[in-house]
Amino acid sequence: GKNSKKKEQLFLQLLTAYDDAISLVSEDLKEYQNMKRGPAVNTKRFECCNLLGFLSFEKLKLCMKRNEDMVNDLREEDCRIMKKNVGGRKKVDKASNGGSGGEDENSEAKRVEEIAHLYDALLQDARSVSNLPGGGDVNRFINAEDGASAADNAGSMMEEEKLEDEFLLEANANVLRLRALRCYYVARLYASSTLEKYVEASKLFEQALTLSVEAAEEIGACQDMDGGEEYMESMEALEKEIKGAKFRAEACAYLARSGGGSTTKSSSSSKSSGGGGGVVAGRSLLSRLDDFDSGGKTFHLVDVPPHLEPIPCKPTFFDIALNHVGEFPMEELQMFVDEYSKEKQEQQRSGGILGWFRRG
């Protein structure tokens, strides 16, 4: 809407302003670097270096805020679609009706892939934050440029460690948080119906769970981190999501190994072969109680209204016989049918008047 366009215009204006400011400060810093060193020049160079680091930090912060808002909107949409698919009855695949059944699956994979790409960009910006110039003391800055020994810088380093550790802790905690989120969505991409690499997805879910636990610990160690409580809650919620997704990936991997996978390809092959170990897409739980069938991607308890089923034309006779058909082995029944068909063919071959008496 109009608000989103205004926000986008404001973002571009701020980004341009930061770029202009960074270029101006960089030019001033180059001029001071070419000047003869002295107390005043060193101080100016130190101030320019800190100002350059601050402007770069604010620019990265602005880009990260915008990307994080975009990825949060996509995550909310993803959660809403997943709840709708799990809570309600999923539509039967279009493949069972003769159409293309991969539209919803492809859109889900594209959405997850877009979220993973955004977390890639966020992760690069978060890593750049910890490598920004600036900070520290003027003397340390001059000694570092002059190539002073480590013993000369030891005193100033000890005093500045307390100030710098908090910034580095927050930056590293943010990197771990984004790594966990990115790993989770990459794992979901591997577990999607377009790839179906469930073993790799399970391992990635384990890595994402480890990263989320480490990120929660690092965020808890930061005292005055902006949005620390919100990040902690998001990591706890992510751990629950990862555990559920990992169990689903392991179940799909088991079904794929045992021949009860949930792809439409296996369903078509099982229908053509007549085997009972495959998947018939769209079957309800009530109709597959005695079959090793996961139900495919369209799982529901019962069909409402129930599907039409053929019934015997004379229920008085055929219903009683139908109850006992399954008790006989299929091989013996097939042998009986084959023998009967052979006898019938031999009788038809014998012609003439005597043939009628033989048939009787």
Residue 301 has pLDDT above 80, yes or no: yes
**Torsional sign, CA 330, 333, 339, 344:** negative
CA-based angle 318:324:328, to the nearest 5?
A: 125
Residue 156 has pLDDT above 70, yes or no: no
Report the pLDDT value the prediction gives residue 168, as an integer from 0 to 100.
84
Alpha-carbon dihedral angle through residues 179, 122, 136, 142, given to the nearest 10 degrees: 110
CA separation for the pair 330, 218 (Å, rounded): 65
Please write the tens of the pLDDT for every residue from 189-207.
999 888 889 999 999 999 9
Residue 82 has pLDDT above 50, yes or no: yes
Please write the tens of the pLDDT for every residue from 174-185.
999 999 999 999
Residue 348 has pLDDT above 80, yes or no: no
Please write the tens of the pLDDT for every residue from 3-21.
888 888 999 999 999 999 9
For residue 179, which of 227, 150, 214 has the smallest C-alpha distance?
A: 214
**Torsional sign, CA 65, 71, 76, 79:** negative
Q: Is the Cβ–Cβ distance between 268 and 282 less than 8 Å?
A: no
Mean local confidence (pLDDT), 279-303:
71
CA-based angle 81:84:86, to the nearest 5?
A: 110
Q: Is the Cβ–Cβ distance between 191 and 197 less than 8 Å?
A: yes
CA separation for the pair 293, 278 (Å, rounded): 6
The region of weakest confidence among 22-31, 160-169, 256-265, 279-288 is 256-265
CA separation for the pair 90, 109 (Å, rounded): 17
Percentage of the chain surpassing pLDDT 90? 36
Query: DSSP letters along 251-280, please?
Result: HHHHHHHHT----HHHHHHHHHHT-SSS--
Report the pLDDT value the prediction gives residue 299, as an integer from 0 to 100.
66
Task: Quickly state the pLDDT bin for 75 (edges 50, 70, 90).
Answer: very high
Name 38's Cβ contacts closer than 8 Å, sequence gap at least 6. none
Residue 354 has pLDDT above 90, yes or no: no
Q: Is the Cβ–Cβ distance between 41 and 49 less than 8 Å?
A: no
SS3 content of the chain, % helix, strand, coil (to 5): 75, 0, 25
CA separation for the pair 340, 44 (Å, rounded): 106
Residue 279 has pLDDT above 80, yes or no: no
Flag whether the pTM goes above 0.85. Answer: no
The region of weakest confidence among 84-98, 195-209, 259-273, 303-317 is 259-273
Q: Higher model confidence: residue 144 or residue 329?
A: 329
Phi and psi, residue 350, nearest 5°: -70, 120
Q: Which residue has the tokens 């709708």?
A: 84
Burial 42-56 (b: 16+ CB within 10 A, else e): bebbbbbbbbbbbbb
Q: Which residue has the tokens 């539509």?
A: 91
**Torsional sign, CA 216, 222, 226, 230:** positive
> Mean pLDDT over all residues of the chain?
77
Percentage of the chain surpassing pLDDT 70? 68
The region of weakest confidence among 65-74, 115-124, 292-301 is 292-301
Cβ of 260: how many Cβ atoms within 10 Å?
21
Report the pLDDT value the prediction gives residue 231, as an integer from 0 to 100.
92
Pull the structure tokens for residue 130.
């910890």
Omega before 312 within 30 of 0, i.e. cis: no
Q: Higher model confidence: residue 143 or residue 149?
A: 143
Report the pLDDT value the prediction gives residue 176, as an integer from 0 to 100.
94
